[in-house]
A and B are shown apart, each in its own frame.
Chain A
Amino acid sequence: MSDEPPLRWTEEQLKRRRQRNLALAWVLGGLMLLFFVVTIAKLGGNVAKRPAYGSLDVVEHIG
């Protein structure tokens, strides 16, 4: 067992780590939002045009 005093992270180090974690959380949240918005933008009007499953159009095509 060592006689040296226990090492500790300083308050400043812990504070900056908290800041980094918070910044990373914002970045990850931003990325989620970004990919969601890009998906909607790329789909565009096609979302509205997509026929509902089982609609008359689909039945006609099948029939």
Chain B
Amino acid sequence: MSDSSITTGNLIGERYMPDIGMAAPGDYFELLKPRVMSLVVFTGLVGLVVAPGTINLVLGLVALLCVAIGAGASGALNMWYDADIDARMKRTANRPVPAGRVTPREAFGFGITLSVGSVLTMGLAINWVAAGLLAFTIFFYAVIYTMWLKRSTPQNIVIGGAAGAFPPMIGWAAVTGTISPESIALFLIIFMWTPPHFWALALFSSNDYEAAGVPMLPVVAGERSTRNQIMLYSILLMPITALPALLGFAGVIYAGVASVLGLAFLGFAFRVWRDKTGEYKTARQLFAYSILYLFLIFSTLLVEQGFGLVPPLAALIHV
């Protein structure tokens, strides 16, 4: 049936006029959480570059595309399931599903299609270890974090943070076909970085989370406890960031940069811990710095490897 016959109307009953929706392509793109996706792709790229061995340039790009689409798919599934929460939070109320531009069914179908497509393409084009990790990442974010942990425990982002930490392992596996201590070290950096990053956000967004009934740490345990936990995880993060140098796949430049960035991170975390003003300026600063921190840590790994500047720390020590 052509558009013209429909728009002229005639006597078409409601049952013959299915809702064709109001979603523009941009709304579907928004379901992919492009800002989160960009960080995921970047850390995946670092995993791909620092892994021993080589990968065809085209296949490397395809691997990253699969990581990006897989991450986007989990974002779409998250927005499908969390539409009720998103509608109650200022920060998320205008997302495509709560705003009514995309129906929940459409978001679900979109997420599932992209999940299956990205995992199969990764498996067929790259290897099945990377595909398995990608599938597990999507499952972890959509099911373990979104459907289970987020609504049930204040430790939601500690465990759920694993989902955001897998991409460098996927990049590594795309090149080597394996999981190794080195790729686990990259995983641990993001895993340990996630709690202070998200709890800083939760401190100045706790009203939103409370209104939505999400048991974030500041809502359930209070601000003092959250500030203590931020400090604790920031301290734990420091030795973890030394692992790439200790395991020999990062050099002295990385060790130096990571130390300086880490000290600054501790400084920002300390100011949050000490803050008794009842305002959230220090939390906002830590949140902003934490994004820059992760970007710079992984950038240093990338640049060091990309330009072949990796005299292993261990070799220097032996000398």
Closest beta carbon of chain B to A44's beta carbon, Å: 7
Pair B125/A23 contact, Cβ less than 8 Å: no
Write the B48-64 contact mask toward A (1 if CB under 8 angstroms, else 0): 00000000101100100
Q: How far is the CB of B195 from chain A (nearest CB, A)?
A: 37
- Pick the contact of A38 from B12, B13, B28, B59 — CB < 8 Å? B59
Please tell me if the beta carbons of B24 and A16 are within 8 angstroms of each other in the complex. yes
Contact check: which of B14, B17, B24, B125 meets A20 at CB < 8 Å? B24
B residues less than 8 Å from A40 (CB atoms): 58
**Is there contact, CB below 8 Å, between B20 and A8?**
no
CA distance A20 to B17 in the complex (A): 18
Cα-based distance from A16 to B22 in the complex (angstroms): 6
Which residue of A has the minimal Cβ distance to B59?
A41
Interface residues on B, range: 20 to 34
Closest CB-CB distance, A19 to chain B, in whole Å?
5
Known: A34-B62, A37-B58. A8 touches B25 (CB 8 A): no
- Evaluate contact between B23 and A16: CB separation under 8 angstroms: yes
A13 at the interface (CB under 8 A from B): yes
Number of interface residues of A (CB under 8 A): 23
CA distance A6 to B14 in the complex (A): 8
Chain A window 1-32, contacts with chain B (Cβ cutoff 8 Å), 1 for yes, 0 for no = 11001111100111011011011000000000
A6 lies within 8 A of B11 (CB) = yes
B99 nearest CB across to chain A (Å)? 14
User: Which residues does chain A contribute within 8 Å of B6, judged by CB atoms?
Assistant: 8-9
> In the bound complex, do residue A20 and residue B23 qualify as a contact, i.e. CB atoms below 8 Å apart?
yes
Chain A residues closer than 8 Å to B21, beta-carbon distance: 13, 16-17
Residues of B within 8 A of A14 (CB): 3, 7, 20
CB of A50 closer than 8 Å to a CB of B? no
B11 adjacent to A9 (CB under 8 Å): no
Q: Min CB distance, B319 to chain A, in Å?
A: 40
Q: Does A41 contact B56, Cβ atoms closer than 8 Å?
A: yes
Residues of A within 8 A of B17 (CB): 7-9
Residues of B near A20 (CB, < 8 A) are 23-25, 28
Task: Say how far B32's CB is from chain A's closest CB, in angstroms.
Answer: 13
Cross-chain contact B25 with A13 (CB below 8 angstroms): no
Residues of B within 8 A of A6 (CB): 9-12
- Give the residue name and chain of the B residue nearest to A21 (CB): B25
Residues of the B chain whose Cβ atoms lie less than 8 Å from the Cβ of A38 = 58-59, 62, 125
Q: With A and B bound together, what is the CA distance between A34 and B62 in angstroms? A: 8
Output the nearest chain B residue to A24 by Cβ-Cβ distance. Answer: B25
| Residues in B19-53 with C-beta less than 8 Å from chain A | 20-25, 28
Q: Shortest CB–CB separation between residue A35 and chain B, in angstroms?
A: 8
- Answer whether A1 and B7 are a contact pair too, CB < 8 Å, given A9-B17, A20-B23: no
User: For A2, what are the chain B residues with a Cβ–Cβ distance below 8 Å?
Assistant: 11, 13
Residue on A with the closest CB to B7? A8
- Which of A7, A13, A42, A44 lies in contact with B12, CB distance below 8 A? A7
Closest 7 CB pairs of A and B: A6-B9, A23-B25, A41-B58, A7-B17, A38-B125, A8-B9, A16-B24
Binding site for A on B (CB under 8 A): 3, 6-7, 9-14, 17, 20-25, 28, 56, 58-59, 62, 65, 121, 125
9 contacts between A and B (CB under 8 A): A1-B11, A2-B13, A7-B17, A14-B7, A19-B24, A19-B25, A34-B62, A34-B121, A42-B125
